[in-house]
A and B are shown apart, each in its own frame.
Chain A
Amino acid sequence: MRVTITVNGTVESHDVEPRTLLVHYLREAVGLTGTNVGCDTTSCGACTVLMGGESVKSCTVLAAQADGADVTTIEGLARPDGRLHPVQQAFREHHGLQCGFCTPGMVMAITSLLRENPAPTERDVRLGLEGNLCRCTGYHNIVAAALAASADPESRS
């Protein structure tokens, strides 16, 4: 079947098997490998992307379900002029990543979280990230990065 999905502002149209997951579509059909697969039970959140501006775990969305949707991955988050998004920038400044594998999903999840709740408490951030697992950072600097980014009004865009 053919699906047409706008990925990071570019209209993509590909033939896929009906069972194709959005994450595999993004990685294999579109060739964007920034979005990672970390589990097979929708537990880890490494595959989190924005669909229609809200975070989804792209391992739990069929490419067919995303037909006609607007999807943003880590590759599409920076500003057109190349400047990092405030969440990306905060991750760098606060050492919010180590091995980097959970990072794209974390960044997308926090971007979505800050759109819903522009002034979260630490508790809000921690509960909001319950579905995104990291094994390197102990979450300490990820939470710090999220809170720092929330102070930047541009983080909501």
Chain B
Amino acid sequence: MSILGNRVVRREDPKFLSVGGTYVADLDLPGALHLVFVRSSMAHARLASIDTSAAEAAPGVVAVFTHHDLGLAPMETVVGMTPEAMTQPILAAGTVRYVGEPIAALVAETREAAVDAAELVVVDYEPLAAVVDPRVARRDETILFPDAGTNTALTLDMGRDEAMFDGCEVRVQQVIVNQRVAPCPLEVRSAAAFVTPEGRVEFRSSTQAPHGVRDTLARALALEPDDVHVISPDVGGGFGAKATVYTEDIVVGWCARHLGRPVRWTETRSESMLGLGHGRGQVQTATIGGSRDGTITAFDLAVLQDCGAYPGMGTVLPFMTRTMVSGVYTIPKAECSFESVVTNTTPTTAYRGAGRPEAAAAIERMVDIFAAEIGMDPAEVRRRNLIASDAFPYTTPVGTVYDVGEYRRTLDIALDVAGYDELRTEQRRRRDAGDPRQLGVGLSCYVEITNGIPEGEYGSVEVRPDGTVVVRTGTSPHGQGHVTAWSMLVAEQLGVPIEDIEVIHGDTDVVPRGVGTFGSRSLQAGGNAVNQAAIDVVEKAKDIAADLFEAAREDIVLDKSRGVFHVVGTPALARGWAELATAAVAAGGNPLLAEVDLASPGPTFPFGTHLAVVEVDTETGHVTLVRHVAVDDAGRIVNPLLAEGQVHGGVAQGVAQALLEEVVYDGDGNPLTANLADYSFISAAELPSFETLFTETPTPVNPLGAKGIGESGTIGATPAVHNAVVDALAHLGVRHVDMPATPERVWNAIRDAAERKGA
């Protein structure tokens, strides 16, 4: 019987539950110095002077460095697409452009000494006008980078087709703010470095991509990749924001080399809220057109992306928004253009979904607005426009090719499980009764792209002479459970118990190549690589078995129920993995090992339907999420326990964006949500238990038939909850409320609608 598809509990857990994980801050580094950063308290200013003399003289301080001490080139541009004039210097060079930008690095014998002395660094600021809102930034009245001459970092102008809405009976436009949010992994950023006697940089990093850290750090410090050894130990969450290297990481490595002593750095949460990249940050102008029979015929999305102060990963995310712009619908004409602009705020980066939640939010909100405009049930409008199951592979108007889909099925299941008709009856009852607690039902039919990058992944499987198995993977899990899932894949192919399988990740010496864990790619790229390596190692073992049995190779069979090889027809004469691995070493000195560098199997397009039920207190504006039904299709599910866990986490983050969370700045660029007391991080008390279901439509794109499940939660849940809030208020004349739908926003929307009606 196959182990795949079973709810195997995690092999990772006993350690975490009994003594806790080993995160970078937990590493024992004898003699390590502590690094803290002096950060800008102003959003935009020239640095007239930085006086470090008092800090340098303080007890325990080893050194204080500013930009010119380092002599390092600025951060690299993101995939070569953004202007050189906008690159971020390693420590501020003459100008600061956001609150929290590192200005000086202070190294001391203890953390306490470093924190105390950092207070003594005197920074003389000459304030400049700050630009906070991307809608203002695009006007180029205040320019962040004079050498660039503009605040626009990147544009994609597809040339708006004014005729695309010709002939539409109905055409509606809405500006939708997809607000800036904070990823908030529970573990903040942390790194440590020391130099070996041979001159090699040993680097420890809380990262999603240790090989990327190795290569980026080597380039930044003018070293060869082999001169750097990166280990990511246990990592306390990432959500995309730990997929890239930060300037602080490079300073840690530089300081360790310069000082010749181990250096460690762990930011505080208040620093992390300013320093770790933020997610989302789009202002969308969406236009939808169609006919009163419910047919949608045109959709246009103009995206204004907030890059923050230095264009990073956030700048290019609108490409992903464009890729998914028309969602699950057969819309004949659809287009998306974008402009990414810099502002005096924390740089934006990938955050769970990374451009796709923004796409789903736009189209799903607009479908509801369209439904309201023509007076049709939003479920019915969706049904009439879904791409049919027999239309795949399906090419969208922007050229995206969806692999496979059963969109109607997930919608039907969600409506059925939720009891949609009964919910509408109850909604009518409350409306008729003028109940202060109104009911809202929100739908989101989504499709997204996973494994969307061209890189493949490394995986290897080695059988040791004692019969145990070691798996090396280029993915870098930080909660996803790859040790368990990859063990299951290998156990399935080799017929060995998962307890005999060790999975190694996150060490760039032991795992020679790797890309990492982000973009819902791991199972498709890394899992398929490991699966292929397992298949290959079985084939190699058959060669050895053929020699040992003195039999024809094609007569050798693997009995997976016992984990032994034998000649067909003589199962009693069997040899186990240990014997074959021992024979392999004895024969040629080489271990029984198969390595695979899997080329990317290509992107897949998970889909599903989420349905949210909310209660809105119309007297206070308070929204309560009552139910959340998620029907997701990620193709073949290797371990439902892990897959559900991914959905749960993503849904919670989606609900958080819809109802609670927002990074807020005042007009001068001062952050107002720079710690977890002020930022509305969602808690258990604000959520119900979720109702999660899967349909399994395998993708033809990769051998496992698997699609990504890591990000569907934020993509599916956010618009469902958002739509539910507006739905609860529709009879009061409310057509749109921006996220997060806080009590204040909801209450104001009700009041404004009442005033419009009264006017």
Query: How many Å lie between the Cα of A143 and that of B686 in the bound state?
Result: 13
Question: Which of B17, B187, B237, B645 neighbours the largest number of chain A CB atoms within 10 Å of its CB?
Answer: B17
Query: How many Å lie between the Cα of A98 and that of B481 in the bound state?
Result: 7
Query: How many Å lie between the Cα of A78 and that of B14 in the bound state?
Result: 11
**A132 contact set on B, CB distance < 8 A:** 683-684
**B184 contact set on A, CB distance < 8 A:** 135
Q: Which of B645-667 contact A (CB under 8 A)?
A: 645, 648-653
The answer to the question of B70 belonging to the interface, with a C-beta cut-off of 8 Å to chain A, is: no
**B650 contact set on A, CB distance < 8 A:** 138
Q: Is B186's CB under 8 angstroms from A139's CB?
A: no
Interface flags, B134-167, vs A, CB<8A=1, else 0: 0000000000000000000000000000000000
The answer to the question of B641 belonging to the interface, with a C-beta cut-off of 8 Å to chain A, is: yes
Query: How many Å lie between the Cα of A41 and that of B673 in the bound state?
Result: 12
Q: Is A95's CB under 8 angstroms from B642's CB?
A: yes
Q: Is B235's CB under 8 angstroms from A43's CB?
A: no
Given contacts A78-B18, A92-B13, contact A139 B687 (CB under 8 A): yes
The answer to the question of B711 belonging to the interface, with a C-beta cut-off of 8 Å to chain A, is: no
Interface flags, B11-22, vs A, CB<8A=1, else 0: 011101111111
The answer to the question of A149 belonging to the interface, with a C-beta cut-off of 8 Å to chain B, is: no
Interface size of B in residues (CB-CB distance below 8 Å): 55
The answer to the question of A75 belonging to the interface, with a C-beta cut-off of 8 Å to chain B, is: yes
**B225 contact set on A, CB distance < 8 A:** none
Q: Is B687's CB under 8 angstroms from A102's CB?
A: no
Q: Which of B153-203 contact A (CB under 8 A)?
A: 183-188
Which of B25, B235, B684 contacts A99, CB < 8 Å?
A: B235
The answer to the question of A25 belonging to the interface, with a C-beta cut-off of 8 Å to chain B, is: no
Which of B10, B186, B479, B690 contacts A38, CB < 8 Å?
A: B186
Q: Is B681's CB under 8 angstroms from A138's CB?
A: no
The answer to the question of A11 belonging to the interface, with a C-beta cut-off of 8 Å to chain B, is: no
Question: Which of B9, B237, B653 neighbours the largest number of chain A CB atoms within 10 Å of its CB?
Answer: B237
Q: Is B23's CB under 8 angstroms from A101's CB?
A: yes
Q: Is B269's CB under 8 angstroms from A41's CB?
A: yes
Min CB distance A136 to B, Å, is: 5
**A41 contact set on B, CB distance < 8 A:** 269-270, 675-677
Q: Is A97's CB under 8 angstroms from B13's CB?
A: yes
Interface flags, A12-40, vs B, CB<8A=1, else 0: 00000101000000010000011111111
Given contacts A17-B112, A36-B187, A129-B685, contact A84 B17 (CB under 8 A): yes
Main secondary structure of the interface of A (DSSP, over half): loop
Query: How many Å lie between the Cα of A39 and that of B268 in the bound state?
Result: 7
Min CB distance A123 to B, Å, is: 9
Interface flags, B678-699, vs A, CB<8A=1, else 0: 0001011101011000000000
**A104 contact set on B, CB distance < 8 A:** 20
Given contacts A74-B20, A84-B17, A135-B239, contact A40 B270 (CB under 8 A): yes
Q: Is B653's CB under 8 angstroms from A135's CB?
A: yes
The answer to the question of B26 belonging to the interface, with a C-beta cut-off of 8 Å to chain A, is: yes
Min CB distance A114 to B, Å, is: 15
**B186 contact set on A, CB distance < 8 A:** 36, 38, 44, 46, 99, 101-102, 133-136
Min CB distance A31 to B, Å, is: 9
The answer to the question of B480 belonging to the interface, with a C-beta cut-off of 8 Å to chain A, is: yes
Q: Which of A137-156 contact B (CB under 8 A)?
A: 137-144
Query: How many Å lie between the Cα of A36 and that of B206 in the bound state?
Result: 14
Given contacts A126-B684, A135-B185, contact A39 B21 (CB under 8 A): no
Which of B14, B268, B649 contacts A135, CB < 8 Å?
A: B649
Given contacts A95-B10, A135-B186, contact A100 B683 (CB under 8 A): no
Q: Across the interface, name the chain B residue whose C-beta is closest to A133.
A: B681
Q: Is A126's CB under 8 angstroms from B269's CB?
A: no
Which of A39, A42, A99, A131 contacts B237, CB < 8 Å?
A: A99
Query: How many Å lie between the Cα of A93 and that of B22 in the bound state?
Result: 22
Query: How many Å lie between the Cα of A153 and that of B37 in the bound state?
Result: 49
Query: How many Å lie between the Cα of A17 and that of B59 in the bound state?
Result: 15
Q: Which of A38-56 contact B (CB under 8 A)?
A: 38-44, 46
Q: Is A40's CB under 8 angstroms from B675's CB?
A: yes
Given contacts A41-B676, A92-B9, contact A129 B684 (CB under 8 A): yes
Query: How many Å lie between the Cα of A133 and that of B269 in the bound state?
Result: 13
Given contacts A36-B187, A39-B676, A92-B9, contact A141 B648 (CB under 8 A): yes
Q: Across the interface, name the chain B residue whose C-beta is closest to A126.
A: B684
The answer to the question of A127 belonging to the interface, with a C-beta cut-off of 8 Å to chain B, is: yes
Query: How many Å lie between the Cα of A38 and that of B644 in the bound state?
Result: 25
Q: Is B479's CB under 8 angstroms from A100's CB?
A: yes
Interface flags, B455-489, vs A, CB<8A=1, else 0: 00000000000000000000000111100000000
Which of A40, A43, A99, A126 contacts B687, CB < 8 Å?
A: A126
Q: Across the interface, name the chain A residue whose C-beta is closest to B183.
A: A135
Q: Is B187's CB under 8 angstroms from A98's CB?
A: no
Given contacts A44-B186, A133-B683, A135-B184, contact A98 B645 (CB under 8 A): yes
Q: Is B9's CB under 8 angstroms from A143's CB?
A: no
Q: Is A97's CB under 8 angstroms from B16's CB?
A: yes
Which of A38, A103, A130 contacts B683, CB < 8 Å?
A: A130
Given contacts A138-B687, A139-B687, contact A100 B676 (CB under 8 A): no
Given contacts A133-B676, A139-B687, contact A75 B20 (CB under 8 A): yes
Interface pairs (24), CB distance under 8 Å: A27-B26, A36-B187, A38-B186, A74-B19, A78-B18, A91-B13, A92-B9, A95-B10, A95-B642, A99-B21, A100-B479, A101-B186, A103-B21, A107-B17, A127-B685, A130-B684, A130-B685, A134-B684, A136-B645, A137-B648, A138-B687, A139-B687, A140-B648, A140-B687
Query: Which positions in A face B, CB cutoff 8 Å?
Result: 17, 19, 27, 33-44, 46, 74-75, 77-78, 84, 88, 91-93, 95, 97-104, 107, 122, 125-127, 129-144
Sample of 9 further A-B pairs with CB below 8 A, known A98-B649, A99-B237, A136-B645: A95-B9, A97-B16, A97-B17, A99-B187, A100-B234, A132-B683, A137-B645, A138-B690, A139-B684
